[in-house]
Amino acid sequence: MAYMALYRKWRSQTFDEIVGQEAVVTALRNQIIHDRIGHAYLFCGTRGTGKTSMAKIFARAVNCLHPVNGNPCNECELCRESESGFNLIEIDAASNNGVDNIREIRDEVRYTPAKGRFRVYIIDEVHMLSAGAFNALLKTLEEPPEHVIFILATTEPHKVLPTIVSRCQRYDFKRFTAGQIFDHLKEVCEAEGIRATDDALRYIARAADGGMRDSLSILEQCVSFYVNEEIDLNKVQEILGTAGAEEYARLTDALAARRAPDALRLIGDIFMAGRDVSAFTTGLISHLRSLLLMKAMGRDGAAILELGEEEAAALSQQADHLPAEQLTWFIESLTDLESRMKYSSEKRVLLEVEIIRLCRGASETTDEALLARIAAVEKRLDEGVFVQKEQSKAADPKPNAQKAAPPPSLEDLPKIRQPKMIMTSGGAAGRAIEAWAAIKKKIISQERGLYTLNLMEIAPGADPDQIILSSDTEFYIKQLEDDHGRRLRLIERAIEDETGAKVRVLARKKSVDPTPDVDMDDIVGRIHMDVEFTD
């Protein structure tokens, strides 16, 4: 007998063998037992959740000569003939999606089956039908002959016409949990004589992403590569092109500590071992997500992630040392990178550039203490005069000592340049500049990394609806322009929300200004000195 793939060999043959779809099984089984069979069904769910298997079991059961508690016997003449397409017609809508294909079905359904009660049509990936084909199917689906049953299966139910959905009984198939997949893989391994460690099977179960068929395909791939060998975690990771949890943890620590050389060396070692760039990036995002959930939920996150005790403890320990804001920023940046990788032939270069950017920019969004101190000083500067606190006379041991110099006024201190409020004669830019102080405060509260707006100047552009944010510091300009200008769009939306004015915000390098640059070290030093405010 020819070799049969595991997912075909282990396809469920009765309702009792279906895993994880109890609600759908109960409904369909009861319809068969009580002879309340409908004329049209819509099976929805992600790939590998058992839609086609359920449809074939149902098609055999409605015609079975000796059903057992709603299950097909799989031994009678009609059960065996259904596999050859006698009363079961399976159509792939992805390749048969035209009007003519549906017209052929419409012509065929008029004829009663030579044997059995029903002729069953399974239309897989029904959302791929053209608009004309959907319309051709409508009337037949609404009033089909009594001897015809339609079962429509789709992974994207939102693409199916509402008029089609309303004519069907809809059943949604749940994704399998990692625990359900693991248990089924254990059963398969025992029956097939496959030697595999529990860690390897758990990793396959998570990598399958809720699809039972995917898990069996991964297991078979591992078995084919390592013939007559025990399948362990390292072998599975090598087959899938992913890295191990320890490597992801080391890379995450390097990113958080801004150690770009260590991160790049680690990536180089991983790729020299033959890892796939896209698969590695996806695995890193998954690791960061796990850390974020453990950070937000503690031990409860382990239940959602379906982790073992040791893995949960390791993730929890690492998550304790990483701010949630930093993890969120890493995930957002790498997710955007993952989408850009699809259209690039230099995936590794893109990843290395992104790693360098994350290492250089991490502190801009995570140094909350410094940001809070700067914000507090700005608030106090708005409320009063910044003076040094005079030393107490009682503390002066020399009564005849030279009188202390008067405390410096605000004008004597190095200035943090505030935006030049250059007013216009009106228009969208003028309204935006007038309200800039309030707008800026709101923007910084939404994204703390944009506190650098306090150090930039604002001015109207050449057009009435154009605003220029300028600075002589290249980093501030690049910060606004990076990520495809996302921060510039954020500023534009904030301006529109506050003033109703739609403007175009541009970031530009400022021309040479004779005013001396800000001495940030001096400012930070003064943040820590004792100050008092007077009216």
Read off the tokens for 383. 């409320």
295 — pLDDT class (breaks 50, 70, 90): confident
Treating both helix axes as pointing N-terminal to C-terminal, what angle do 277-297 and 245-256 enclose, rounded to 10 degrees?
70
Which residues make Cβ contacts (< 8 Å) with residue 345, sequence separation at least 6? none
Read off the tokens for 397. 């041991």
Strand order in the sheet with 169-172: 88-92, 119-124, 148-154, 40-44, 169-172
- pLDDT tops 80 at residue 395: no
- Phi, psi dihedral angles at 457 (to 5 degrees): -100, 145
Lowest mean pLDDT among 254-268, 356-370, 388-402, 446-460: 388-402
Position 85 scores a pLDDT of 63
By C-alpha distance, which of 495, 504, 493 is closest to 432? 495
Read off the tokens for 446. 């939404």
CATH class of 427-509: alpha beta
Cα–Cα distance, 24 to 60 (Å, whole number): 16
Q: pLDDT, tens digit, for every residue of 30-68?
A: 998 888 888 889 999 888 888 888 998 998 888 888 888
> Is residue 229 a contact partner of residue 19, using CB atoms and an 8 Å limit?
no
CATH class of 6-172: alpha beta
Q: pLDDT, tens digit, for every residue of 168-224?
A: 899 999 888 888 888 889 888 988 888 888 888 888 888 887 888 888 898 888 888
What value does the CA radius of gyration of the chain take, rounded to a whole number of Å?
Answer: 33
Read off the tokens for 188. 């398969």
Cα–Cα distance, 464 to 462 (Å, whole number): 7
Amino acid at 38: G
What does the H/E/C string look like for 480-525? HHHHHHHHHHHHHHHHHHHHCCCCEEEEEECCCCCCCCCCHHHHHH
What proportion of the chain, given as a percentage, has pLDDT over 90? Answer: 3
Position 414 scores a pLDDT of 47
Size of the chain in residues: 535
- pLDDT tops 80 at residue 102: yes
Cα–Cα distance, 401 to 404 (Å, whole number): 8
Cα–Cα distance, 426 to 432 (Å, whole number): 10
Q: Where are the beta strands (DSSP E) in 12-163?
A: 40-44, 88-92, 119-124, 148-154
**Residues β-bridged to residue 468:** 459, 506
- Phi, psi dihedral angles at 280 (to 5 degrees): -65, -45
Cα–Cα distance, 255 to 262 (Å, whole number): 9
Per-residue pLDDT, averaged over 102-122, amounts to 83
> Is residue 173 a contact partner of residue 50, using CB atoms and an 8 Å limit?
yes
For domain 178-240, give the fold.
Answer: Helicase, Ruva Protein; domain 3 (1.10.8)
Q: pLDDT, tens digit, for every residue of 244-261?
A: 778 888 898 888 888 889
Residue environment code for 300-334, b if the CB has 16+ CB neighbours within 10 A, otherwise e? ebbeebbbeeebbebbbebbeebbeebbebbbebb
With 0-12 CB in 10 A as exposed, 13-18 as middle and 19+ as buried, what is 129?
buried
Lowest mean pLDDT among 104-113, 119-128, 409-418, 496-505: 409-418
With 0-12 CB in 10 A as exposed, 13-18 as middle and 19+ as buried, what is 218?
buried
Contacts 24+ apart (CB under 8 A), 525-529: 526/413, 527/373, 527/374, 527/377, 529/388
Cα–Cα distance, 243 to 237 (Å, whole number): 6
401 — pLDDT class (breaks 50, 70, 90): very low
Amino acid at 134: F
Query: Candidates 1.10.10.10, 1.20.272.10, 3.40.50.2000, 2.30.30.90; correct CATH number of 245-366?
Result: 1.20.272.10
Taking the alpha carbons at both ends of the chain, their separation in whole angstroms is 96
Position 84 scores a pLDDT of 63
For 39, the 3-state DSSP assignment is coil
By C-alpha distance, which of 110, 55, 49 is closest to 82? 55
By C-alpha distance, which of 31, 274, 42 is closest to 158? 42
437 vs 370, which has greater pLDDT? Answer: 437
Contacts 24+ apart (CB under 8 A), 407-410: 409/385, 410/381, 410/385, 410/386
Residue given tokens 């106090």 in the structure block: 380
Position 523 scores a pLDDT of 54
Position 396 scores a pLDDT of 47
Position 14 scores a pLDDT of 87
Treating both helix axes as pointing N-terminal to C-terminal, what angle do 347-366 and 245-256 enclose, rounded to 10 degrees?
50
376 vs 450, which has greater pLDDT? Answer: 450
- pLDDT tops 70 at residue 408: no
> Is residue 502 a contact partner of residue 461, using CB atoms and an 8 Å limit?
no
| Domains of the chain by residue range | 6-172, 178-240, 245-366, 427-509
Query: For the chain, percent helix, then strand, then coil, each to nearest 5?
Result: 55, 10, 35
What are the C-alpha distances in Å from 334 to residues 277, 279, 281, 353, 406? 12, 12, 7, 11, 54
pTM of the prediction? Answer: 0.58
Across all residues in the chain, what is the average pLDDT? 79
